[in-house]
Amino acid sequence: MPPLIEVRDLRFRYEDGTQALKGVNFRLDPGESVALLGPNGSGKTTFVMHLNGLLSGEGSIQVCGMTVESRNLPAIRRKIGLVFQDAESQLFMPTVLEDVAFGPLNLGISQQQAVDHATTALETVGMAAAASRAPYHLSAGEKRKVAIAGILAMDPEILVLDEPTTSLDPPAQRSLAELLASLPQAKILVTHDIPFVQSLCKRAAFFQDGIIAAEGFVEEIVSRFGWGLGLERSKSRI
Amino acid sequence: MHHVVLEHWSRGSSPLHRRDPRAKFGALLVFLVVLATAHRSLPLLSVALMALLAGVLVWGRIPLLGALARATVVLPFTLVFAGVCWAAGDPARGLALLLKSYLSALAVLTVVSTTPLPLLLRGLETAGVPRFLLMVAQFLYRYLFVISEEAQHMRVAARSRGGATRDLATQPARFRAAAGALAVLFARSYARAGGIHRAMLARGFLGHFRALGSLDFRGSDAAFLVTASLAPILVRAVIERMA
Amino acid sequence: MEAVHIYDGFLSTPVWAAMDAAAAPAVGYIVRRAQRGFDDSRVPLLGVMGAFVFAAQMINFPVGVGTSGHLVGGALLACTLGPAAASVVMCAIIAIQALVFQDGGILALGANLVNMALVGVLAGYLPFYLWGETRWRNLAIFSGGALSVMVSAMLALAELLFSGVPMPGSMLGVSLGLFAVSALLEGAITLAVVQALEAIQPGFIRIPAAGRSFARGAVGLAAVLLAAVGFLFASAAPDGIERLGLLTGAAHSRTVIRSPLAGYELSFLQTPWVRKAGAGLAGVGLIYGACLLIGRGVARRRSA
């Protein structure tokens, strides 16, 4: 099966001269869930922003068989949905329904179809009852779910989530993990939350200094780079 | 906070809430013009118009006393001028200022407390207000509380670092600190706008906002517009004829 | 009181109607200028920066003992977002203030928009436009802040006086004095924030458009100041206008119109208003001309 995402030798430099990505190679197959781990500033978020063309660097990126370049962006942004860390900046319309329908409306379909897509997406994430509420009044977990609904409404094949458990209490984290586990799309999770990752992903890629230093099973990567909390070691000391 | 209360009231349900925002705004304009151009029998007219507004508020299931209290925001400014009028020997004019400004504010409150602001803004588009401006106002309203909360946090943080001394000697430093806080808030707001724009692009934004749903101007809205517009006109005509 | 929001009930019918009529096309024009080439992509930035200005009111700047002031924002927005975008943001702010907070009237909205969002922002930007790249930069930014508040206040006072709101000379003097203090404070705050912003990220502050015309900018600034002062003078000294009217022969046009509405007091059809309004509209026209001059000048340079 052809990969959903294929990245070859991706390099990117910010305006101030920082070389954020120094030759990243990456591949995502249909139905996979991959975690992107690594220190802050190692290029994880910069990398995912290339996948839907928000940033553009050198090298080649293919998403669902299309090269990521400006003429393909509308189609690509339909296939790959990005959920950012700050949910408040993603729910910018006056009501939940209007916000979730924003994506479908941009695809050029009719208002009624957009409402239908939005309603279905809200039901999938369990937030249908909040359709006419203002986003400001929702809890952090609810906002995260509505943001995901906003992406699901466009019927993507790939979900990318940047730090999805930020500000979520454990029940909300569990709820989110259950939701994500139930979704059939391929997923990329950029996160520091190891337990969350372990419940959802088999594979992980470790970013370090602008490249992927290693890829493999989640447990391997975590223990190789000491990326867990180290509680397993302290337990054996007792 | 004022706009939080208004936001809450505007999401209520009543026959008035269900009216088309354009009908409500049109009736509001008629009311305001009738009031603004009135010069005779103002005290009596004011009582009659107040009763009219109170009736509408009750019909809209808005807490009457709360609304009457909130309209008093105009009073500080107006009382100063009313005082000057009284001192200049023209108390009638001072009274006119008080009555007109208070009733106008109450009338606006009646419409805004029974119409969610984004809906009202959309209604204004029919009146020819540029859509770009209305969208800016909509986004402003959406992030008003968010950014205000950030500012509040910064204020608290500054205070807990000892910024509350009233010493004149520290004023230049505190002035600079406040400017620094504003600059940080500016930068954060600017960055947030960038984040919003990225989120919009990520969901296929191509440069133009499309409206979801259209406003339906029904028979009941037309009936409301006609009735609500005629009411203040008739009230004034009757009162001025009586005088 | 840093910025004067006029409530309904203060302005006489000819004044609020004329200001609404003046504001409508001006707002349409400035929106098209702000939007040019940007489609709707700038909406989030302008909206969020409008929310910023609101929130900025919470940050207190200590002045003297026990008092403090806050940012009004027109000049700061103009130096960072550009004058057209700044005007649009101020329009949105004033509209939200009137609708949601009842801070300012609806019939008086035109007047408030002209005072604060249009002329006020222009007055706040022109010094920066003229001297922003010279060694007088700091003074230019300070003056912009001060002028934006002062000009807005003067126009508001003029409109109130034109409407017949009584203001004894002493009260006028005290008001102008208070506004002058507010104006100086706004200048100081604007400059302080601009400097703090440059320390964070120099790119925030615009560079006045390359190819700008100093002559047109200077004419614009002179026109704005002349109009503001002239407006106020004309409204506060109606006798002068009467004499002017007699001189020009306008006094002979005493027409009394009988209409079905004769029972209502149509004060705006009486002759003294015609002369006063003429002066007022001339002032507004002067400002319009200034804006169009500058606008065309900038546009021509850019397309060249």
| Cβ(C19)–Cβ(C156) below 8 Å | no
Structural domain boundaries enclosing C165: 13-303
Shortest alpha-carbon distance between residue A79 and chain B (Å): 10
| Cβ(A204)–Cβ(A222) below 8 Å | yes
How do residues C203-224 score in pLDDT, each as one tens digit?
888 887 655 788 888 888 888 8
Shortest alpha-carbon distance between residue A101 and chain B (Å): 8
Classify residue C19: in a domain, yes or no: yes
Identify the closest residue of chain B to C70 by CA–CA distance: B178
pLDDT (0 to 100) of residue C253: 40
How do residues C19-75 score in pLDDT, each as one tens digit?
999 999 999 999 999 987 668 999 999 999 999 999 998 888 887 766 778 899 999
Structure tokens at A69: 């370049």
User: Please, which pLDDT band fits residue B188 given cuts at 50, 70 and 90?
Assistant: very high
pLDDT (0 to 100) of residue B68: 93
Structural domain boundaries enclosing B77: 2-125+216-242
Interface membership of C25 toward B (CB under 8 Å): no
Span B73-94, mean pLDDT? 86
Closest Cβ opposite residue A106 in set B117, B199, B206: B206
Identify the closest residue of chain B to A132 by CA–CA distance: B11
Residue B49: pLDDT above 60? yes
User: If you average pLDDT over every residue of chain C, what do you get?
Assistant: 80
Chain C residues within 8 A of B115 when measuring between CB atoms = none
Phi and psi of C286, rounded to 5°?
Answer: -60, -45
CA atoms within 13 A on the CB side of B120: 25
pLDDT (0 to 100) of residue B1: 67
pLDDT tens digits, chain A, 238 residues: what are they?
A: 889 999 999 999 998 889 999 999 999 999 999 999 999 989 999 999 999 999 999 999 999 999 999 899 999 999 999 999 999 999 999 999 999 999 999 998 999 999 999 999 999 999 999 999 999 889 999 999 999 999 999 999 999 999 999 989 999 999 999 999 999 999 999 999 999 999 999 999 999 999 999 999 999 999 998 887 765 554 444 4
Interface membership of A225 toward B (CB under 8 Å): no
| Cβ(A222)–Cβ(A211) below 8 Å | no
C-beta atoms of B203 and A106 within 8 A: yes
Classify residue C278: in a domain, yes or no: yes
Classify residue C109: in a domain, yes or no: yes
Shortest alpha-carbon distance between residue A80 and chain B (Å): 9
**CA B61/CA B67 separation, integer angstroms:** 11
| Cβ(C43)–Cβ(A92) below 8 Å | no
Interface membership of C29 toward B (CB under 8 Å): no
Residues 6+ apart with CB under 8 A from B121: B134, B137, B138
pLDDT (0 to 100) of residue C249: 47
Span B84-111, mean pLDDT? 91
**Closest Cα to residue A48, out of A74, A12, A82?**
A82
Classify residue C258: in a domain, yes or no: yes
Classify residue C165: in a domain, yes or no: yes
Measured CA to CA in angstroms, residue A221 lies from A154, A202, A216, B54, C84 at distances of: 33, 11, 6, 69, 53
Classify residue B60: in a domain, yes or no: yes
β-pairing verdict for A66-67 and A58-63: antiparallel
pLDDT (0 to 100) of residue C270: 42
Classify residue B14: in a domain, yes or no: yes
Classify residue B9: in a domain, yes or no: yes
> Which chains share 3+ C-beta pairs under 8 angstroms with B?
A, C
Helix ranges (H only) for chain A are 44-51, 73-79, 96-106, 111-125, 140-152, 170-182, 194-200, 218-225, 231-237
User: If you average pLDDT over every residue of chain B, what do you get?
Assistant: 90
CA atoms within 13 A on the CB side of C82: 14
B 64-123 near A (Cβ less than 8 A): 116-118
Residue C2: pLDDT above 70? no
Classify residue B162: in a domain, yes or no: no
Classify residue C1: in a domain, yes or no: no
Shortest alpha-carbon distance between residue C174 and chain B (Å): 13
Cα-trace Rg, chain C: 20
| Cβ(A236)–Cβ(A224) below 8 Å | no
DSSP character string of C108-123:
THHHHIIIIIIIHHHH
Domains: count for chain B: 1
How do residues C104-154 score in pLDDT, each as one tens digit?
999 999 999 999 999 999 999 999 999 888 889 999 999 999 999 999 999
Classify residue B94: in a domain, yes or no: yes
Span B96-103, mean pLDDT? 94
pLDDT (0 to 100) of residue C261: 30
DSSP character string of B72-126:
GGGHHHHHHHHHHHHHTT-HHHHHHHHHHHHHHHHHHHHHHTTS-HHHHHHHHHH
As beta bridge partners, residue C273 has none
Classify residue C6: in a domain, yes or no: no
Closest Cβ opposite residue B108 in set C45, C106, C189: C106
pLDDT (0 to 100) of residue B157: 81
Residue C300: pLDDT above 90? no
| Cβ(C76)–Cβ(B185) below 8 Å | no
Classify residue B185: in a domain, yes or no: no
pLDDT (0 to 100) of residue B23: 95
Interface membership of A149 toward B (CB under 8 Å): no
pLDDT (0 to 100) of residue C271: 45
C-beta atoms of C7 and B132 within 8 A: no
Closest Cβ opposite residue B142 in set A52, A77, A92: A92
**CA A19/CA C266 separation, integer angstroms:** 72
Span B153-171, mean pLDDT? 73
How do residues C242-266 score in pLDDT, each as one tens digit?
544 444 444 444 333 333 333 333 3
Span B92-117, mean pLDDT? 94
Q: What is the CATH number of the domain that holds C128?
A: 1.10.1760.20
C-beta atoms of A78 and B204 within 8 A: yes
C-beta atoms of B132 and C34 within 8 A: yes
How do residues B73-83 score in pLDDT, each as one tens digit?
899 889 988 88
**CA B236/CA B242 separation, integer angstroms:** 10
Interface membership of C201 toward B (CB under 8 Å): yes
User: Please, which pLDDT band fits residue C289 given cuts at 50, 70 and 90?
Assistant: low
pLDDT (0 to 100) of residue C285: 61
**CA A136/CA C63 separation, integer angstroms:** 35
User: Please, which pLDDT band fits residue C304 given cuts at 50, 70 and 90?
Assistant: very low
pLDDT (0 to 100) of residue C303: 44
- For each of the domains in chain A, give its residue range(s) and CATH number, in order of start: 5-237 (3.40.50.300)
Chain A residues within 8 A of B201 when measuring between CB atoms = 54, 77
**CA B197/CA B194 separation, integer angstroms:** 5
Residue B96: pLDDT above 70? yes
Helix ranges (H only) for C105-237 are 109-112, 120-131, 137-162, 169-200, 214-236
pLDDT (0 to 100) of residue C264: 30
> Which chains share 3+ C-beta pairs under 8 angstroms with C?
B
pLDDT (0 to 100) of residue C256: 32
Span B93-116, mean pLDDT? 94
Chain B residues within 8 A of C62 when measuring between CB atoms = 166, 171, 174-175, 178
The position carrying tokens 């100081």 is: C188
Report the complex ipTM. Answer: 0.94
Interface membership of C203 toward B (CB under 8 Å): no
**Closest Cα to residue C168, out of B147, B88, A184?**
B88
Classify residue C243: in a domain, yes or no: yes
How do residues C172-182 score in pLDDT, each as one tens digit?
888 888 899 99
Classify residue B165: in a domain, yes or no: no
Domains: count for chain C: 1
pLDDT (0 to 100) of residue C192: 95
Residue type, B82: A
| Cβ(A164)–Cβ(A191) below 8 Å | yes
Where is average pLDDT lowest: A231-235, B156-160, B187-191? A231-235
